[in-house]
A and B are shown apart, each in its own frame.
Chain A
Amino acid sequence: MIILFVALPLVVAGVLPLIGKISRRVLPDLLANAALLFLLVYAVAAGRPLIANGPVLQQISWLGEAVNLPLALDGFSLFMLMAVSLVGLCVGLFSIDYMEHYGAKANYYALLLIMIAGMNGLVLATDFFNIYIFLEVAAVASYSLVAFGLGHDELEAAFKYLMLSVVASAAILVSIAVIFGMTGSLSLPAVARALQELNAGPVVGISAALFIMGFGLKAALIPFHAWLPDAHPSAPAPISAVLSGLLIKVSGVYALTRIFLNVFGLTPALSTVLLYLGAISMVGAAFLALGQKDIKRMLAYSSISQVGYIVLGIGLGTPLGIAGGLFHLFNHALAKGLLFLTSGSLQQATGTRDLSEMGGLAKRMPFTAATNLIGSLSIAGVPPLNGFWSKLLIIIALVQAGHPVFAVIAVLASVLTLWYYLLIQRQAFFGKLNEKWAAVKEAPFWMTASTVLLAFLCVAIGVLFSLTIKTWVQPAAGVLAEGVQAVIRSWGL
């Protein structure tokens, strides 16, 4: 019943405001987090057996009539679902304490669940227009979540994000119209099959360029990144975690990857474009992150840089490169989610996001300091944490495929990343305790618990990396490496 991934969050979101009227505190929190927990358990426990024999297609019968809900669950989709559920649950737990002073918590949880439903729907969709719809569902929810605090900065960031995002959506729709015009169909397998027959190089090129513009903006690749450094810091910390950790990857990287690798087929030209885009984002954003004083802004630029890594790995097209890119996607979702959550703990305790004002907080907030350290080291790629393995895979894949220059650039960017993350650690947590913060306490229970959980996962996946790669990443990478055949053969609806 893979429709549950979309239906359950929507239904719970629908009833949450009503429940919020009855009980302002406990019941909305409980219900929302229970829903998220269910999704996670369902993905982890029931997912793998479901796809053991190939992708699962959804055919359900409603009130006696067979309803056509073209959802497909294969290795790649399951991989993304797991990432979404995991980070979603931790964000939900974190929000129990963090969103107290924002008010309207039931409404917040409803919007969060709708965003998760949209992302799940995007991942399970098998039709171009459905991808677009769920993209917009998640996006509309995210606009108001960015503006949730109703302060000047939040509203400004939300407005600019909205404007740019709508242009991206328009580009995606124009591309979908071109594809519909060429092939007469909108479902992914049918289009894949039709494009094989047609020999429409230049027009597919136009369509691909529009998709890169649209999805590239959603993924915040340079040069389409201008909205992210404003939007992600201004949002409430758990929403920044979902935006940086999940939304840019699901609505940007997943959609681009699915379309380019499984429908268009990765031509050398496309691969080159992706490699260059990835490399430019990777390096450019790393440099831009260096000068930042605001901790969340620095994390936002770092997200752009890491998405560059992911696109670099996937754009390579070799099985190892794809596996590395996907593994990095997962690791970054965990680690960046973790880092944004700890930044939220910091912001709540000290009231500021400015690094130059902080200092020596490790003594007063040991859990936050420790989890932040683990998250930073993970993204910077320090063994034995998970980020190290995924970056290593990408670099090895680059060398193997004959792109030593890119590999060197990747290593250099990694060193840069390590440097500015250690800067945060030193400025915020170590060193002398600024007297202003002598009275701060460690973050409340749920906030600490969720960050500890994510940090634990970073360490565990780092240690058990080969197991993780074999059970989760390989099926996903396999689907993508098969290219167009994966969709034509097994999604024939």
Chain B
Amino acid sequence: MIIQTALLVGLVLFSALAILLKDLLKSAISLAAASLLLGIVFFRMGAPYAGVFEISVVAGLITVLFILTIALTNTGEEVRESRLVNIVFPLFFVVFIIIDALVMKGLLQKIPALPSAPETGTFGDILWKGRTLDLVGQIAVILAGVFSVLALFRKRDKHD
């Protein structure tokens, strides 16, 4: 439990860092570190497949996409963020965490829940046989993403 909490704290810290850092590249790498920690958290919760997906896809693929975009948009001028935001954010965050903790303490034992049936089968069974429609949806969303990128990067003369 201690390790889990430490990992979660690290996750939140790296995410906050990703938001605060000025350099986009360092932001993306901080985000990847956060994903890595999240993947380990998943693994320790008994969800190895989710952990693997999180690490390989989010910390890997999405970070690569981010770095690609940062590289392609690098020749312009810097976007000046409001300096106020960088001061307010940590304050806001600390206040939010305190409120968050109080709310959680207040809600302890107060959310009713039905006990659920024990799980049967392996992950493969559940994903392929139990939630097959999810897979159809995944194919559809991947097709949508691929065609979107193709459409948005097509060679054409300007319209309007």
Contacts and interface: CB of A to CB of B under 8 A. Distances in A.
Contacts of A107: 147, 150-151, 154
Interface stretch (A67-75, A242-250, A483-491): A67-75
Interface in B92-150: 111-117, 129-134, 136-141, 143-145, 147-150
B152 interface: yes
A17 interface: yes
Nearest to A158: B152
B99 to A, nearest CB: 16
A108 interface: yes
B160 interface: yes
Contact of A68 (B111, B130, B139, B145): B130
Nearest to A3: B136
A141 B156 contact: no
A13 interface: yes
B83 interface: no
A71 B134 CA distance: 12
Contact of A151 (B114, B136, B160): B160
Interface in B49-108: none
Interface size class of A (residues with CB under 8 A): 35 or more
Nearest to B154: A104
Interface residues of B, number: 33
Contact of B137 (A13, A65, A121): A121
A17 B139 CA distance: 16
Given A111-B151, A181-B113, A200-B112, A10 B140 contact: yes
A184 B137 contact: no
B140 A121 contact: yes
Contacts, number: 125
Given A10-B140, A13-B143, A68-B132, A148 B116 contact: no
Contact of A184 (B114, B131, B132, B156): B114
A198 B151 CA distance: 48
Contact of A203 (B112, B116, B132, B158): B112
Contacts of B139: 10
A134 interface: yes
A129 interface: yes
A107 B153 CA distance: 12
A246 B159 CA distance: 26
B114 A102 contact: no
For B112, B145, B147, the residue with the greatest tally of chain A CB atoms inside 10 Å of its CB is B147
Contact of B148 (A111, A182, A184): A111
A197 B114 contact: yes
A19 to B, nearest CB: 13
B23 to A, nearest CB: 23
Given A140-B144, A140-B145, A130 B134 contact: yes
A147 B144 CA distance: 14
B143 A6 contact: no
Contact of A67 (B132, B159, B160): B132
A144 interface: yes
B134 A129 contact: yes
B147 A118 contact: no
A121 B112 CA distance: 32
Interface of B: 111-117, 129-134, 136-141, 143-145, 147-152, 154, 156, 158-160
Given A17-B147, A107-B150, A137-B140, 15 more contacts: A65-B129, A68-B131, A107-B151, A111-B148, A114-B140, A114-B144, A121-B140, A143-B148, A147-B152, A150-B156, A150-B158, A151-B158, A185-B116, A199-B112, A200-B111
18 contacts: A114-B143, A115-B144, A121-B133, A121-B140, A133-B134, A136-B141, A140-B144, A144-B144, A147-B152, A150-B156, A182-B114, A183-B114, A184-B114, A184-B117, A198-B113, A199-B112, A200-B112, A203-B112
Interface of A: 6-7, 10, 13-14, 17, 65, 67-71, 101-104, 107-108, 110-111, 114-115, 117-118, 121, 125, 127, 129-130, 133-134, 136-137, 140-141, 143-144, 147-151, 181-185, 194, 197-200, 203
